[in-house]
Amino acid sequence: MMNPSVVGIDLGTTFSLAAYVENGRPVVVRDAAGVALVPSCISFHDDGSVLVGSAAKERALSDPEHTIFSVKRLMGRTLADLKKELELIPHQIVERETADGRKVLHVDIGGREYTPEELSALILKEVRKRAGNPTKAVITVPAYFDDSQRQATRDAGRIAGLDVLRIVNEPTAAALAYGLDRRGAGTIAVYDLGGGTFDCSVLSLAEGVFKVLATNGDTYLGGDDFDRLLMQVAAKEMGLDLQGAEKDPELLQHLRDAAEKTKIALSANDAAELVVDLSASKNVNRASLAPFRRTITRTEFEELIRPLIDRSLDRCKAALRDSHLTPAQIDEVVLVGGSTRIPFVRKRVGEFFGKTPHTGLNPDEVVALGAAVQADILTSGRRDMLLLDVVPLSLGIETLGGVVDKLIHRNATVPARATTRYTTGADNQTAILVNIYQGERELTKDCRFLGTFKLSGIPPMPAQFAQVDVTFIVDHNGILTVSAKEQRSGTQAQVTVQAAHGLTTEEVDRLVNESIENAQDDFTTRRLIELRNKAENDLRHTQKALAQAADRLTPDQRAAIASASETLRSAIAGSELNVLQRSIDEFGAATNPLATLVMNEVLRQSLGGTEADKLDPNNLGVRSLEKGMTWTDAREIGEALFDQFDTINPLSVRFTDLHKHVMNLEGFTGKPNESNEKLLEAIQMAWYEEWKDEYGDE
């Protein structure tokens, strides 16, 4: 893969990913195994190291106190905003007030506090690393994200070391990707239901111009909410009080994991079993309990989520109303977000719009692809496409009596600018305070407070003589700048709105500098953890192999393994990266004769017998190209897997993933149910031999 200098990033609630444009087409960034999605999950170790992505998600059940997910739902929020969420968040959420009166949200993980921006930056760093460390990015956000949430996302990008070129609405990005192959005119509705947020945007497409007509949404509606409904069913029948379980991260994580698996299974089956197994719990009393089992039918699940789907369709109605369109006037409906895989969602959306939704695009990848297109437009000078987005919520200032005077109304095309003249309310008033709000209600108490600034130096004059022009400017990113000027004296002031509960520019700069200063230490710590995990895994494999074949080793070989094992255990306990790497290399060399014995034995058993006259000639692994590979062709399959995934250590691949990789090989003709653990182990060892010849025992 090339190393792009600019990418599009979909920073999602459940998964995140990146894409870039190559030869005029957007391409999703994938790892060596072909996986595009990075779980938006972070796990912290006691030694200060951090895991992000799949490795972090795997620790969610075993170490829930130090593993966090769905960070996106915390971005730009206050503690009051999260009132309904707190009971199901397994971490303590606190709000710290700064000296200048701002309220900053923090998440307590293992005794250390992190802002949502810092946590999101860790996810962005992982996505950025997978893409080859580009320096510039377009990052997507839900269309209904307000100014605070957009600013928080931009700050997270900066902390991650990215120059954020543009903040783009997710449905708009999806429409960009969809419209690449559709140059005719038409009206598109994008129904975007992800892990934590929902948006509906209506766009017109004509000759490469994408114009957003209206957008509406709910930043507290997504797949996480479906999971919570299933969690509540299980908790009620188990006699658990979820509010009382707030301080029990392990229990909440087991419930969440079971609910998510059940939800996914119900997309393909008419019924699924919801299983909460606490046998591995650290709590002895809880571990002794029998697993909770409850069959959930698809019909029951659909009734549970029906009110949430109704809420989403109400948002669609609002977007259509603002667009002055009816469902019948929509030419195409595009589904975006992993939660749109649920059959009931597709059915209800199809019924609402009166047409079958377009499902030709991968709902998990389409937003990143569109972001990559926008990134390419911004950096390459490409002019055959134009994106015109909108302001999701109205913006205004507080006037006398707590009334919001709206300067820029929702669904105004960005960039947007508006100026209104105000005056003083008292004689000899020399300053005015501009309080900035966002929302659709008429009173400040019902809208979201974004920030404030003061215009001082107004000459003393009678009330209503001063002429103060207040100007709002919303840029392409949806970020607001406010300025005020008193016309008689020329006194003026300007501010880029910094939310009353966000990070200041100085705080963001400090976090950026800290990440640069600690980059080498962070890398060393991470590498040390990875090598320790590999070393412990190698020791476990060796103990298992010794139990099978130790009697066939020479005394010198057994002594060499014992000595290398002791040295490796000592290196694991230490903190010297070079010593640990050297010990792993020496251990690999010492155990090589053992690995060869085990592999030969596995191959011999998998080929049908121990004596020549008992071997099945059809199962010897000898094949013609016309016949194709089958499960017993371990050597050929191992070579083919190495050719396709040459940088992956085969010993780190789970058998379930290995089975999928083999089934996807070109020329493989075996059936899924013909494999078994012995055959997969033979294939894994054959693949490992190829990998070891290239890379050694890393």
How many Cα neighbours within 13 Å face the side chain of 636? 17
What is the H or E stretch that residue 186 is in?
strand 186-193
How many Cα neighbours within 13 Å face the side chain of 502? 26
3-state DSSP call for residue 183?
coil
- Give the helix, strand, coil percentages of the chain, each rounded to 5: 45, 25, 35
Catalytic residue among 57, 63, 72, 250: 72
3-state DSSP call for residue 282?
coil
Measured CA to CA in angstroms, residue 109 lies from 196, 605, 619 at distances of: 21, 49, 54
How far apart are alpha carbons 14 and 12 in whole angstroms?
6
Strands 386-388 and 209-218, by their bridges, are parallel
DSSP of 51-111, one letter per residue?
Answer: EESHHHHHTTTT-GGGEEE-GGGGTT--TTTTTTTGGG-SSEEEEEE-TTS-EEEEEEETT
How far apart are alpha carbons 1 and 129 in whole angstroms?
13
The question of whether 170 is a catalytic residue gets the answer: yes
How far apart are alpha carbons 658 and 678 in whole angstroms?
13
Report residue 570: phi and psi, to 5°: -65, -40
- Smallest CA-to-CA distance from 198 within 303, 336, 331, 322 is with 336
Identity of residue 636: E
Measured CA to CA in angstroms, residue 460 lies from 426, 427, 470, 487 at distances of: 10, 7, 19, 14
Catalytic residue among 85, 118, 192, 260: 192
Q: Are 20 and 7 in contact (CB under 8 A)?
A: yes
CA angle 653, 657, 663 (to 5 degrees): 125
Measured CA to CA in angstroms, residue 218 lies from 145, 198, 280, 321, 411 at distances of: 9, 5, 37, 16, 15
Catalytic residue among 147, 170, 199, 398: 170
The question of whether 72 is a catalytic residue gets the answer: yes
3-state DSSP call for residue 683?
helix
The question of whether 125 is a catalytic residue gets the answer: no
What is the H or E stretch that residue 493 is in?
strand 492-496
The question of whether 155 is a catalytic residue gets the answer: no
How far apart are alpha carbons 384 and 387 in whole angstroms?
10
Token pair listed for 271? 């019924």
Report residue 263: phi and psi, to 5°: -60, -45
Entry field: residues in the chain: 698
Residues classed as catalytic: 10, 72, 170, 192
